[in-house]
Amino acid sequence: MILNRVAVAVFLLALLCVAACGGDDPTPRPEKATNESGSEPSSAWDEWYERNKADIEELKSALKSAPPWAKVAPEQIAEAKKHGVPVAFENELGMRFVLIPAGKFLMGSPKDEEHRDTDEFLHEVTIPQPFYAQITEATKGQFRQFDDWYQSDEMRALLRRPPPHDGEDHPAQVGHLGGRHFAAWLTLRDKARAYRLPTEEEWEYACRAGTKTAHWWGKSGRDVWRHANTRGPSDRHDGHSGLAPVAQYTPNAWGLYDMLGNVSEACSVLYRPYPGADDEARERHDDLMRRFGGYAVVRGGSWHDAAMFTRSAFRFARRAQGGYRRVFGGGVGFRLVSPLPEK
């Protein structure tokens, strides 16, 4: 059934592409043979179409209702239909969100994963309700609508080393507190929806988008630079010597950009050993706390982290104390999530 829906989705994408090109398709198509009476004989393709006609029409209608920027998968469309909500929305600040379906997944990493840390204790997690996730990291332009002091001349004068990447579409590096303040402000402003930082579970679930490998694009860490903005090879190959504007790389299967790399992303929870974690995991947690005094979880790795940290299961923690104006930089940004509105 799932394969069938994927095949239907591929067919529809091809159909929409042809429609978008105004039907001027240079690809030669096979002529349909006709019999002596002039009527077309049924082909395997026609039979397949007839068998799946209802699914095709349903998905065609759903895809039309999704905005063109939303690179959503059939399971997201199905979840939206089930709950009677849009599969994607854009708020008044131009922040774009897609629906992440409810489900179960294995959080953490298997013991044979390359560069694994022992605090990535593998355990099953249930995400009981769908939620919306911002498709990109929150940008400087978006954050500046909350606090126009950010990136101002006054701020620059206070910083010994002002951030060099200050385009409106670069992610805001404002840490946990910047994200939390921004989410609270936006919730008060947007009467229809609430916003917050994701939990660590929600973040990893959204990052994996159904995958179990070290990265959402696969197992190997050798080609990280093709998919994510990290330190090292990506500097030489992708033209981004530091922070990149958001959405310069392909999104994951659920239409989320830069889940790995660019800025590390603040989560709403404190850094703790996972439920049921073994002694190894607890030792790693205690060691990290001792050495870095970290409290709040950050995920995904950043533009100045080595590629080995750009894994779906990698965990780190940072201090979240003090005003957010004191903690600019450091490669930590955020993306917001939004629960389904109450009916």
Binding site for Ca ion (CB under 5 A): 258, 262, 300
63/243 with CB nearer Ca ion? 243
Contact yes or no for 232/307 (Cβ under 8 A): yes
| Cross-strand partners of 297 | 317
Sheet holding 332-333, edge to edge: 315-318, 296-299, 264-270, 332-333
Rounded to whole angstroms, the Cα distance separating 256 from 337 reads: 12
For residue 238, what are its two tokens? 């992708």
89 vs 334 by CB, closer to Ca ion? 334
CB of 321 to Ca ion, least distance (A): 23
Would you say 271 or 314 has its CB closer to Ca ion?
A: 314
Q: How far is CA 32 from CA 27, 29, 43, 115, 212, in A?
A: 15, 9, 9, 55, 43
Task: Give whichever of 127 and 263 is closer to Ca ion, judged by the CB atom.
Answer: 263
Residue 236: strand, helix, or coil: helix
Minimum CB distance to Ca ion, residue 135 (Å): 12
What distances in angstroms separate CA 129 from CA 16, 72, 99, one per listed residue?
31, 18, 11
Q: How far is the CB of 282 from Ca ion (least distance, A)?
A: 27
Considering beta carbons, is residue 204 or 258 the nearer one to Ca ion?
A: 258
Provide the minimum distance between the beta carbon of 164 and Ca ion in the complex, in angstroms, as a whole number.
18
C-alpha 250/C-alpha 136 separation (Å) is: 11
Least separation in angstroms between CB 104 and Ca ion? 24
- In the chain, which residue ranges form alpha helices assigned H by DSSP? 2-20, 44-51, 53-65, 74-83, 140-146, 153-158, 175-189, 200-208, 224-227, 233-237, 279-292
CB of 262 to Ca ion, least distance (A): 5
Taking the least distance from each CB to Ca ion, the nearer of 62 and 264 is 264
